[in-house]
Amino acid sequence: MTNLAYLSATELAPLLKSKQLSPVELTKKLLNRIDKIDPTIRSYITPLHDLALAQAKKAEKDIMQGHYKGPLHGIPIGIKDNFYTKGIRTTAGSTLFKDFVPNKSATAVDKLLAAGVIMLGKLNMHELALGSSGTNLTFGTTRNPWDLRYMPGGSSGGSSAALAAGLATLATGTDTFGSIRLPAAMCGVYGLKPTYGLVSTYGVFPSAWSLDHAGPMARSVSDLAFMLNGMAGYDPNDPTSLNTPIPNYTTDLTKGMRGIKIGIPMYYLRGLDSDVEKLFTNALSVLNRLGAEIIEINIPELTMSTFAGYSIVGSEASAFHYEWLKTRPTNYAADNRIFLLSGTLTNAPKYVKAQQSRRKMVEAFHNSFNRVDLLLGPTIPFTTPAFTQNWVEQNLAVIRRSLPFTVPATLTGVPTLSVPMGLDRSGLPIGMQFFGNHLREKLLLQAGFAWEHVNPFQYKLRID
C-alpha cells in the first residue's frame, strides 16, 4: 500500500471492490501528495479537496452497501481544465476565462462521474489548448516531473505531469495538434486519441471544431481501456458524435502481437534525433520478436500534414476567438496571439486546398490499412526540450517540429495510441505511437498492452 499514488486503476479496482482499500484513504493520499508536490509541478489549476473527499465518502458508502459500479468506482481522476464542470471554475488555461463557472458539465465528465470516479481537480494546460510546451503565464507553467527544467508537453501538460508525478490515477486530455500524445511521450505515460467522434466533445472548449478530440490518459494501457469504456458513446448534443455500437475495450487485451502486420511509413523515419532513432529501431526488433510482421511502406500524402494542419487549425481557432482578438488582444499570451492572428489571414482558397489535402490523406490512410493492420512511428522526432528564456519562439518551434508527426492522425480522424518507448540519455521519456483504422481502438489497445507487458515503465522520479 506504500505506493498507492502509483498503482494503476487496474490494480486499485480489485482492492476497492473487495473493501481492502477505502476510496477515502486513496483520495486523501493523493490530495496530500498534491499539497506537497504540486506547488513545484503546477499540474493543477484548481484542486478540489472538499469535493473529492465528499465524492470519496459517497463511493465508500456505496461500495460498503454492495453498490459497486465497476472498475472506475472510487478511482481518483484529474480533469483537464478545458472540460466544462458544472459549478466549478473552468478556465481553459486562459485569462479570458479565469472566472468562468459553467452551468453544465462536458458529456465526457458526466459519463466518468456516473461511473464513480473521484474528481481531484482541474488540470493545468497550455493556454486555450493551443500550444505544445506547457507554458502558462496566468496559472503557472507546468514542469516535467522527471526533471523540472524540462517541459511536460502540451497542451495536456497538466494531465501528463500529474500522472507521472503520482498526483492522479487517471486524467482526461484533448488532442487537436497532438495534445494528448505529445505530453504523454514527454512524461512517459499512455495517451489515446480515439477515432474522431467516438468520445463526445460537447462541453469542451473548442480549438478547431473539425479536428478536436477528447480522450483518456493513464499510466497503463488497461486503464485507458477502462476509461474509454466510460467515455465513449453517442451524444445527441454533439453533431460530430458517432452513433455506433461501443464494444468492451478491456476484452482481447491479452491476445498479443502474433500475426499483426505493422506498417512503418518511411515518412516517420526522417529527421529523428539519435536517441529517438535508437529506441525506435529497438522497438521494432521487440515487436518482431513478439510475432508482429514489420513492413516498411510509403505514404507520400503525409507530406501535406503541415500545410493542412496549420491552415485548418489556424483558421478555425481564429474564427472562434475573432471577437476577443479584436477587443482583448492583450489577454492572449504572445505565442497564441501570434498564432491566432496569423490564422485570420487564411483565405478561402487556402482553406479549401487544405481540406482537399486532408481528403487525400484520409484516402491514403484507408489504402494503407488495406495492406497492414496498424501503422507505427515515433510520437515526436525529438527528445524533450528544456525550457528556455525565449519561451514564445520555443513553443512555436516545438509545434513546427512535432506537428508533422502528430497532426496526420487528427486530420484523418484515425485512433492513435502513444506509449512510452524508453528513456533518452538524459533520463527523460520518449514515446512511440500506434495508428489504427477508424474504430479499431481494440486492436490498438491490444498492441499497446503487448508492448507494455514486455516494456513496463518505471516511474523513478527525482521529486520522490
β-pairing, 170-175 vs 76-80, is: parallel
**172 DSSP 8-state letter:** E
Phi, psi angle pair for 38, to nearest 5°: -70, -25
Are 85 and 109 within 8 A, CB to CB?
yes
Q: Which of 222, 414, 210 is nearest to 312 (CA)?
A: 210
Are 203 and 105 within 8 A, CB to CB?
yes
b/e map 363-400, b = 16+ CB within 10 Å: ebbeebbeebbbbbbbbbbbbbbebeeebbebbbbbbe
Catalytic: which of 29, 80, 111, 122?
80
Rounded distance between C-alpha atoms, residue 145 and residue 148, angstroms = 6
Rounded distance between C-alpha atoms, residue 436 and residue 269, angstroms = 18
Strand partners, 171: 78, 217
Are 27 and 118 within 8 A, CB to CB?
yes
Rounded distance between C-alpha atoms, residue 225 and residue 255, angstroms = 14
Rounded distance between C-alpha atoms, residue 51 and residue 54, angstroms = 5
Q: Degrees (nearest 5) of the Cα angle 111, 445, 277?
A: 125
Rounded distance between C-alpha atoms, residue 415 and residue 448, angstroms = 13
Are 174 and 90 within 8 A, CB to CB?
no
Catalytic: which of 8, 179, 318, 402?
179
Give the residue ranges of DSSP H helices in 65-201. Answer: 107-114, 157-164, 181-187
80 is catalytic: yes
Cell, residue 229: 469504456
318 is catalytic: no
Catalytic: which of 8, 22, 155, 156?
155
User: Which amino acid, 329?
Assistant: P
61 is catalytic: no
Q: What is the DSSP string of 322-377?
A: HHHHHH-GGGS-HHHHHHHHHHTT--HHHHHHHHHHHHHHHHHHHHHTTT-SEEEE
Catalytic residues: 80, 155, 179
